[in-house]
Amino acid sequence: MSTFTAYDGTELAYHVRGSGAPLVVLPGGPMRASSYLGDLGGLTAHRRLVLLDLRGTGDSGVPADPATYRCDRLVDDVEALRVHLGLDRMDVLAHSAGGSLAMLHAARHPASVGRLALITATPWALDMPATPEDRRAAALLRRDEPWFEEAYGPFEAWLAGTGDFDPVFLPFFHGRWDDAARAHVARGPQESNYEAGDAYLSPEAFDPPATRAALARSTARVLVLAGELDGGPRPELARRCAAVFPHAEVAVQPGAGHYPWLDDPEWFVRRVTAFLEGQPSHGLSAVGADR
């Protein structure tokens, strides 16, 4: 673990894993410690991952002002990490809610980003939320799974606003409901700062028209990767997100949910590495062509 000091004196931690050119990694949750990302399916064999623990999570310090958990306020932490690492321009991988942070950072600091990989990122920063219809459509793709009958009723109630979030339907977020997925889920409460997560998504954190306008001028190369079975974002939503960027491509990982490096590590690593190295992606988009 290494640390640096943010603009307000908060000590922030990051974890370095693997070898090769650095790749700054922004976790999702929102506000989940970066430990849940592991080695991203073996991506450490190709890149040196710099996994940031956002303030108030993991090994990072708790700020004096909880308002600094807002997504837009965290942009300064990401930029401070780049400066601390001595990088003129950095490649960034962001998962899930971390995608909105990465988009806000790229909009505010366009010269700081080289390549940006948005992994199953719901683009709240662009006012493109995953809708109940999106999540329902993805869930119905799983109707032949042995756990579907028990999970779907509570899931539908949650979508309708008549029921609470229930762990019984967590299999819908994973392409494979196996031991690795169960272990991943079990660690969630210990790795998450739920109060900070609520602040992260404050409506005041986002200005979608301004963000869209800034990203439309971006020179960064962007990969928007969706899971075939993920409800947030569905592949169609990922394509809408990619259309905001001038230099974006879309990949849909077959059989994957919200955590694609768990569902098929080899496919995930090959596709992300090809993008980061500027290689052709032939044969790696079995579901939905790249653009």
pLDDT digits over 129-185, tens only? 999 999 999 999 999 999 999 999 999 999 999 999 999 999 999 999 999 999 999
- The residues, any chain, with a CB within 8 Å of residue 154's CB and separated by 6 or more, are 163, 166, 168, 169
Residue 282: what pLDDT? Answer: 52
Q: What's the pLDDT at 281?
A: 65
Residue with tokens 């029921």, as numbered in its chain: 163
pLDDT of residue 279: 85
The Cα 232–Cα 239 span in angstroms is 12
Q: Are 199 and 181 in contact (CB under 8 A)?
A: no
Tell me if 108 sits within 8 A of 84, measured CB to CB: no
Closest C-alpha among 97, 118, 96, 95 to residue 106:
118
pTM: 0.95
Q: What end-to-end distance do the CA atoms of the chain give, in Å? A: 38
User: Does 285 score more than 50 pLDDT?
Assistant: no
Question: According to the model, what pLDDT value does residue 199 have?
Answer: 97
Note the pLDDT tens digit of each residue in 133-149.
999 999 999 999 999 99
If you search the block for the tokens 């928007």, which residue do you land on? 224
Q: Cα separation of 274 and 279, whole Å?
A: 5
- CA-CA-CA-CA dihedral for 233, 239, 245, 249, to nearest 10: 110
DSSP 131-188: PHHHHHHHHHTTTTSTTHHHHHHHHHHHHHTSS---GGGGGGG-SS-SHHHHHHHHHH
d(CA 104, CA 206): 8
Rounded average pLDDT over 2-22:
97
Mean pLDDT of the 188-206 span: 96
pLDDT, tens digit, for every residue of 24-45? 999 999 999 999 999 999 999 9
Q: How many CB atoms lie within 10 A of CB 282?
A: 8
